[in-house]
Amino acid sequence: MSKENVAFIGIGVMGKSMAGHVLDAGYPVTVYNRTPSKADDLVSRGAKWADSPAAASEDADIVITIVGFPQDVEETYFGESGVFQSLGSGGLVIDMTTSSPLLARRIAEVGAEKGIGSLDAPVSGGDLGAREARLAIMVGGSQTDFDRARPLFEVMGKNIQLLGPAGSGQHTKMCNQIVIAASMVSIGESLAYAKASGLDPKQVLAAIETGAAGSWSLSNLAPRALDGNYEPGFYVKHFIKDMGIAIDSAAEMGLELPGLKLAKELYDRLAADGGADDGTHALFRFYFEGKQAG
């Protein structure tokens, strides 16, 4: 049985690896990215290039998108050259961007009117998880659409869960980001404390990472920061976007998140200080370089 045609839109830090896994699994893949050169490697490996989301979707059975911000998602789907301009009835769209739950529901509603299935499926695991095909994939949508997409999810990730109807994947990703925001602040403060007390932060990290304080961020991002490597596995500017979505979504539900608001204030300061395109672990510079908020 032949595999479905896949359009993959968004060839960024994570999308490139994810699209590569889909291609390596034998799916016919058409790619689009706003910066064409980022797709050159995939095209050299057999992917087909398209000049717009609409062109990429013309012959697709399934469209996967992972772009930057909610406005980029909106343009990708609803713009003049968007996915919904060309994807036919019976198609399936999977937005893997971390975006707004409200927008996920809108995509699902418009898709249903056109006979198109829809899943919101944001991911966690960063650039390393994308490269090693072990992302956590949080999915909102119907069981039927989830079952159809599952073989694709399985070539990109390991922990794959359907959480509920449209928007549920995005709400779950907000839960994930809330935890990460608090942990990034606590890791920075912990290692700053280690340094101030005369300890070797790397040795402290080795001592605590396998105990109750252990986390993915502690084991994978803190070592990069201690080596002065702030290259992005996930951009500060995108994390700020995520925190803003979580704060707004919480407000709609009548929920206060003071810890998240504090973390976002620190990240806003980091972006204003020139760190918007750094990795999220660049927050630790505030602690390592004595730039904490007073």
Verify that 83 and 182 share a domain, yes or no.
no
Q: C-alpha dihedral over 236, 237, 242, 246, to 10 degrees? A: 100
CATH no. for residue 116? 3.40.50.720
Mean pLDDT of the chain: 95
Average pLDDT over residues 29-38: 96
**Number of structural domains found in the chain:** 2
Catalytic residue among 16, 173, 241, 264: 173
- pLDDT on residue 290: 61
Q: Hey, which residues does 258 pair with through a beta bridge? A: none
pLDDT digits (tens, 9 = 90+) for 40-92: 999 999 999 999 999 999 999 999 999 999 999 999 999 999 999 999 999 99
pTM: 0.91
DSSP state of 45: T
Can 173 be counted among the known catalytic residues? yes
Cα 210 to Cα 88: distance, rounded to the nearest angstrom: 50
Q: Encoding tokens for residue 130?
A: 């994308």
Same domain, 160 and 182: no
Amino acid at site 160: I
| Pairing assessment for the beta strands 48-49 and 29-32 based on DSSP bridges | parallel
Is there a domain that residue 293 lies in?
Answer: no
Same-domain check for residues 187 and 237: yes
- Residue 221 CB neighbour total at 10 angstroms: 27
Range of the domain at 99: 6-165
Instruction: Identify the domain boundary among 122, 147, 165.
Output: 165
d(CA 146, CA 150): 6
Specify the pLDDT at position 126. 85
Question: Do 161 and 197 share a domain, yes or no?
Answer: no
Alpha carbon 44 to chain centroid, angstroms:
25
Q: State the DSSP code for 37.
A: G
